[in-house]
Structure 1
Amino acid sequence: MTTAQKVTAFIENSGEWKEEMISLRKLFNSTELAEDLKWGVPIYTINNKNVVGMVGFKNHLGIWFHQGVFLKDPKHILVNAQKGKTKALRQVRIEKGDTIDEETILAYTLEAIENCKAGKEVKSEIKKIITPSLLKKALKEDAEFNATFKRLTPGKQREYAEYITTAKQEKTKLKRIEKIVPMVKNGLGLNDKYKNG
């Protein structure tokens, strides 16, 4: 299945936001952006850099500008979904019954493209992985577990380390380690089952 077919299938199954997504897709595809599917949702890129994406939620349709922090936002429509956490991403929220102002969305998209070409980007911080002692012990005791864990991306390693750390009791930590060993040996991340595409 091609990327275009995957995006079409995604939109066809997007329920109440289908019509809005069809309009937005047409708008994004009228620019020089390339259409892709990442994290199971349509993302539009230039030079392999994420520029804008869209996804429907229960109460709103989100249009994400990946480096939206650099947009001028003359209409004051951009929101930071997680203040204090999200540094670069900004979104426009379309609620049921709202009309999408395609002229404004296109203008923001074109500005986002120019910003991307100009190299405007908030670099994500690389967080140090703090491996809990029980996980270190399990890794030391099982060579295959250790080798496959080291081959995981830093993000996946961090997810596993945090999963073990967040358990309050030692027996829960041990149960969690027991649960993740086969996942790690299969090269899976903790949250891979929630990530499509």
Structure 2
Amino acid sequence: MPTEPRIDAYIARQADFARPILLHIRALMHAASPDIGEALKWSMPFFTYRDQNLANMAAFKGHAAFGFWHDKVGRAGASDDAMGQFGRLTALSDLPPDDEIAALISQAIALIDAGDRPRTGPKAPKSPLPVPPAFATALAANPAAATVWAAFPPGKIRDYCEWIIDAKTDATRDKRIAQAVAWIAEGKGRNWKYETR
């Protein structure tokens, strides 16, 4: 199947560390079957098979991610510290051997061929993250933000905590805390720009 030009553009604009990872994953997907197609969904590259989502990949500021769409496609030692089953990918060496990925692709294709539907059961809830002390203090100092924060579901709380905990410097952390408190006071989740109303 032809490649998707928007995915070419997506890969081209990623960081130097991410491009080889994304290109390698793409090559493995297409080597597995001539029937694997490409699409850009939710601003990320997806691989499709028989008009169903097979896998997706993405690049972020400090890591890339890759995962299979079907919840029954798994691997021993799968990481949950990033989107997908392969954890935070920062170099090609972070990926498992090609034959392991090829076997997972075959497993995902076989599930689709068998008519097995993905995402059939509820996801196990993630354990809550601790609220960083400086963030808790800033929330307490803003009554509007504190009220909204108290009503947030666990996922929105986790999104903000991860964002603040992942800051590399104190200055970045403080900037994120100030931005978070302002957004929360307005009733906005961390990813409010992408939420459908």
Q: TM-score, normalised by structure 1?
A: 0.47
More contact order relative to length (CA 8 Å, sep ≥ 6) = 1
